[in-house]
Structure 1
Amino acid sequence: MTTVFIHGFGLLGSSLARVLRQGDEPVTIIGSDQDRAQIEYAKQHQLVDHISAGLERAPEADVIILATPVDQIKQTLRALAKLPLQPGVIVTDVGSTKQSVVKASQALAATPAVFVGGHPMAGSHKTGARAGRADLFENAFYFQTPQSSAERAAAQQLQHLLAGTKAKFVQITPERHDRLVGQVSHLPHVLAAGLVNKSKQALQSDSLGLRVAAGGFKSMTRIAAANPTMWQSILLNNGPVVSEQVSAYIETLQRVQTAIDQQDGPALWEYFQRAQQSREQLEQQDDNQGAGFYDLFLDIPDQPGTIARVTTLLAQTHLNLVNLRILEVREDVNGILQLTFSTAADAQRAEATLAPDYHIVRRD
């Protein structure tokens, strides 16, 4: 039986514990978290078999998963290096930056441990063990950063252990990871937080204020509700990359500002046209080239049981939804129910299933 030590029972740690609990192979889970309430919740809901006050039970583990903020992951790696770890124990993490973590893992070089950097591209603005879900990682990219043949072999073992996540495992260098994730995750979080803060400041004297914020604003800024401690740690550890990307974004905004000031209609049209094309390409990529998420929009009546009927029809056709979202307003598309599928074929089958009863909204 594999013994897994999970250090950090927030959203990601508790979600991984749920995945392991539902797996085909029996697993013993030892949980640790500096917040006693989180680990007690995990114990009460049978997410762990044993509780460790700190790292004292880490030497019992075959696999150690570090699921805390990046700064704490680095500290924990140095602390693990001083413990009598099991021969061949695999140590991995779920941190959003990889170069600084991989560098810190060098502390394990003199131990029998094998370190594999990891980062599942999944999350939520909700935090804590209660927010964990076994399906959190489904269809998400799960980056791994093995550097040697031993680490690549360990990465394969982790993929087998975590197969229940139904994630898309991708092996990548730490440098490439930080650049890519900086652009598509870290920078957007900075921008979302800035937009919320600036909008609140600009509208604080208006009685309507942010109450009139429509769906576009709320969709764009949803991630601003994320854990500030986690994001402080991420930006401090991927600082040079994100700083460079912020500078490039400032230059883009300055060009837009110049076009507005000069009433340069063609430049503004090109700016939005390029963005439109790029955004549409995100939905047209096949599964081997990109995220492979395909949206279907339904204009449905506001009646009890409508959403249940839609999901029942999809289930009867054996279609698996990646996500379902009720749009708060109809400003971008004339529909309120957004259905997301992992393949274009599933989206097309869903459209054929639902079209006889519901209006499929086109965005072109």
Structure 2
Amino acid sequence: MTKVMIVGLGLIGASLAKCIKNQHPDYHLIGWDFLDTTRLAALEQGIVDGIPDNFADGAKEANYLILAVPVKTSLSYLQELAHIELQSNILVTDVGSTKQEITEFAKQFSFDFIGGHPMAGSHKSGIQAADATLFENAYYIFTPLPHTKDRINELFDLVSGTKAKQIVLTASEHDQITGMLSHFPHILAAALVNQADHFNQLHPNAKRLAAGGFRDITRIASSDPKMWTDILLSNQNFLVDLIDQWQNNMLQIKNWLLTNNQTAIFHFFENAKDTRDRLPIHSNGAIPGFHDLFVDVPDRAGVIAEVTGLLGRANLSIINIKILETREDIIGVLQITFKTYNDLLQAKNCIEENTDYQCRMK
């Protein structure tokens, strides 16, 4: 019997467990988490088939071992595996957001390792948020070592139940790409929010106007601080280079402003617009996409219940909902977030067919 051990039964680990169980019902899933309550919940909910007395006992049995924990924690587990009598054919992988550090670290051990990064997430966390559809159409990147490339198809098959788009990259290429498209934007979003917070203390009315567009372009600043500290320190070399480039770009823009260089400023925005307009839409990338529907609603009791009731009867799951009050001509704009573009489109049609409310997709 093939045995798979998943270490870390939070959102990613538990969701992977569900995917593997769906695709490979004959596999035996072993679960491990540092929280007793999480281990118990995983067993009671049937997410895993068994919980060992300790990490080492589970690892001894495993043919495949998935480290669904932060990168720094994964390094500790790899070190621990070196002192355990493992199955001779064991294949170890992880789900971390950076790959070069852990891939280089894994070279010293005798067991086979292939880095992995399922590029999916949710505003929810923990085992209760586990979702077998979490990874559908997302990118799942693998970074094998030279001597483990011949086992990549095993890993493809193991996680095929995720229905993710599988890609193989070098660890360095992965970290450079995700550094540019995910890690660096998170730094910029957090820096902008922190700068705005200081500004808001001097201009209290600014906070009222910081909803709408400002909130949207900085929404990734709401990410888990511990996780992002770990990510940045694991990808520091590439990020330092990107920060240096950014600072040079900002100095150039500053110079254009000081010299009233209208042509350069125009081309700066023109090029950005052209590049942005050519980006693929409705596809999952390095940063999970947000599928937002904006509904102009009247100031009337029960209107939110009316809209959510319509969506509920249509079996459309809402990820998040909030009221925006940034427009003078209407009391409220209902912002509803969905998991997929298809859900977004169905919701728009549902509301417009059953009400006279205007909807806009984003």
TM (normalized to structure 1)? 0.80
**Structure 2 vs 1, CA of residues 41 and 349 (structure 1 numbering), >3 Å: closer, same or farther?**
closer
Equivalent in the alignment of 1:57? 58
**Structure 2 vs 1, CA of residues 272 and 340 (structure 1 numbering), >3 Å: closer, same or farther?**
farther
- The equivalent position to 2:193 in structure 1, one of 196, 213, 218, is 196
> 1:51 & 1:103 partners in 2: Cα distance?
29
Amino acid in the other structure paired with 1:119 = H
- Could you tell me whether the CA contact under 8 Å between 2:19 and 2:162 is conserved in 1? yes
Amino acid in the other structure paired with 1:259 = W
Equivalent in the alignment of 2:93? 92
Equivalent in the alignment of 2:27? 27
Amino acid in the other structure paired with 2:270 = Q
Deviation at 1:119, TM superposition (A): 0.6
**Structure 2 vs 1, CA of residues 119 and 52 (structure 1 numbering), >3 Å: closer, same or farther?**
farther
Identity %, equivalent residues? 31
> 1:295 & 1:359 partners in 2: Cα distance?
17
> 1:295 & 1:263 partners in 2: Cα distance?
39
Q: How does 1:106-255 map to 2 (within 5 A)?
A: 106-108=107-109, 110=110, 113-148=111-146, 151-208=148-205, 210-255=207-252
Deviation at 1:290, TM superposition (A): 10
Task: Figure out how many residues of one structure are paired with residues of the other and give that number.
Answer: 349
Q: How does 1:301-340 map to 2 (within 5 A)?
A: 301=297, 303=303, 304-306=305-307, 309=310, 329=324, 336=335
Deviation at 1:254, TM superposition (A): 2.2
Deviation at 1:263, TM superposition (A): 3.4
> 1:125 & 1:356 partners in 2: Cα distance?
29
Residues 221-247 of structure 1 deviation map (CA, whole Å, 9 limit, x = unaligned) = 222222222222211121110110111
TM (normalized to structure 2)? 0.80
> 2:85 & 2:321 partners in 1: Cα distance?
51
Of stretches 119-128 and 182-191 in structure 1, the one that deviates more from structure 2 is 119-128
Helix, strand or coil at the partner of 2:107: helix
Residues 264-290 of structure 1 deviation map (CA, whole Å, 9 limit, x = unaligned) = 333333222222222221236999x99
Equivalent in the alignment of 2:69? 68
- Could you tell me whether the CA contact under 8 Å between 2:119 and 2:288 is conserved in 1? no
Residues 126-182 of structure 1 deviation map (CA, whole Å, 9 limit, x = unaligned) = 43323332222121111001233x633432222222122111110111111010010
**Structure 2 vs 1, CA of residues 290 and 83 (structure 1 numbering), >3 Å: closer, same or farther?**
closer
**Structure 2 vs 1, CA of residues 27 and 328 (structure 1 numbering), >3 Å: closer, same or farther?**
farther
Helix, strand or coil at the partner of 2:218: helix
**Structure 2 vs 1, CA of residues 220 and 131 (structure 1 numbering), >3 Å: closer, same or farther?**
farther
> 2:127 & 2:283 partners in 1: Cα distance?
34
- Could you tell me whether the CA contact under 8 Å between 1:299 and 1:360 is conserved in 2? yes
**Structure 2 vs 1, CA of residues 309 and 274 (structure 1 numbering), >3 Å: closer, same or farther?**
farther
CA RMSD of superposed structures (Å):
3.7
**Structure 2 vs 1, CA of residues 139 and 243 (structure 1 numbering), >3 Å: closer, same or farther?**
same
Deviation at 1:341, TM superposition (A): 5.8
Which runs of 5 or more residues in structure 2 are unaligned?
A: 328-332
Deviation at 1:88, TM superposition (A): 1.2
Residues 320-358 of structure 1 deviation map (CA, whole Å, 9 limit, x = unaligned) = 99x9776854989x9956778679xx9999999998778
**Structure 2 vs 1, CA of residues 233 and 203 (structure 1 numbering), >3 Å: closer, same or farther?**
same
Deviation at 1:66, TM superposition (A): 0.6
